[in-house]
Structure 1
């Protein structure tokens, strides 16, 4: 929200369930594609072994149909897990204030202050609706673009990142 000469940016917001779902989608989308391909190949093999008299087109159709059904079930289970995780985490529903500067990222929530040096960040991934700032392979700060009040603040954030992350 505020910006000074030292290229320090302060933004704030509360993570919504929709933001949390989008984050989880982006983290898992590559694995989901691999699972779908793997399930399809397994069912192709099983159908070919147990019903060799089926035509190739029908076998592929059945394998894809089963894979889609399995994936829909997996998505439903994943949605329930994400919803349970979000609703059970009281801290995630509190407003977070981020101060981004050349020194790092300061994260403030209630009475908790955390400073993250740029060297402690593994990588940053930008998506259409959010940024994932990974501190490890499985731990990330979710920074929705809606936290940025203006395009200028978003541009400043990207500038600070480009100057501090290789």
Structure 2
């Protein structure tokens, strides 16, 4: 295929955002639905006798309402969180522009730019209105189809997917080495107040960040499970005919053990998922270069380049020996202290962050 560049630009619609949301959190919702059904089924199996099929069907009927409530509650929490973030930052009117060619996909929004090589895209899924790209087991991005200016551009993009992404030989040709491309930072040496951090973080450092997400997920699971059991057994525990005898405490103990076992299983799955995510993400094995200054943070990873302004970060946190700069609730820029040239550079980076980020969004350990 001849060297061609497609320019696609526009603004995502609410439908695009919902489609992407359902894809990215679908597994979480599925886990919640299955958990509700299992808990309801266990309750009826322990309190009823008779046809097992009838018990399972009754459990399904009783689980529908909690499932719907969980679904809408989850969407409400996500929407409210986005509303708070937009209210603080203001609505961004910049169009998102994609430049697509043999080298990869470049996304630009205002001064924010991100370059994604074809080799760093693990999977592409096409929907009726958009394409979703999977970068790792928990990292996605999307490209709405209405961004393309003509049907010919859309058809050409699909050909590029076949040529550069689906075709293993072409995909391997487009891969770069593991070193950082210095041409992304032509003026770094001229920036007197820039701080450099260069290298790669280990699985231990990545796992420190993932442990924060695990703790939050486990807390949500335990609270949700207790709330759902309380809702289902409200008559048994709090009704007028509720019995405060040994059988009630045995039932409470059974469900407490079930919740504890579920939490242990969930923790094990999340920890395994962290390892899988670290190993499946091509960028984790590549050298990274971070440039920190008063304007924001720029970093290059192999053939990918991203530039963030300080206003793009929702929250900045110091945890153990790394900086965690949240762009989205489930997406962050990680900068381990080990990548800085000296402890003095770490302190300088802290000072820049304190001066450029709202103090309410900073959580440092000192």
Q: Which deviates more from structure 2 when the two are superposed, residues 36-45 or residues 118-127?
A: 36-45
CA distance in 2, matches of 1:125, 1:55: 47
CA distance in 2, matches of 1:158, 1:5: 18
Structure 2 counterpart of 1:77:
269
Structure 2 counterpart of 1:156:
348
Structure 1 counterpart of 2:324:
132
Cα root mean square deviation, aligned: 3.0
CA distance in 2, matches of 1:156, 1:6: 13
Contact 1:9 1:99 in 2 (8 A): yes
Map of 1:1-166 to 2, 5 A cutoff?
Answer: 6-43=192-229, 46=233, 49=236, 53-54=245-246, 58-166=250-358
Structure 1 counterpart of 2:18:
none
- 1:92-150, CA deviations, whole angstroms, 9 ceiling, x for partnerless residues? 21111111011211102224332211122222122123221112222211122332343
Contact 1:13 1:96 in 2 (8 A): yes
CA distance in 1, matches of 2:229, 2:269: 21
Cα distance change on mapping 1:109 and 1:63 into 2, 3 Å: same
What SS is found at the alignment partner of 1:113?
strand
Contact 1:122 1:134 in 2 (8 A): yes
CA distance in 1, matches of 2:321, 2:220: 24
Q: Which has the larger radius of gyration?
A: 2
Paired residues in the alignment total 164
Unaligned runs of 5+ in 2: 1-188, 359-366
Contact 1:41 1:63 in 2 (8 A): no
Contact 1:133 1:140 in 2 (8 A): yes
Unaligned runs of 5+ in 1: none
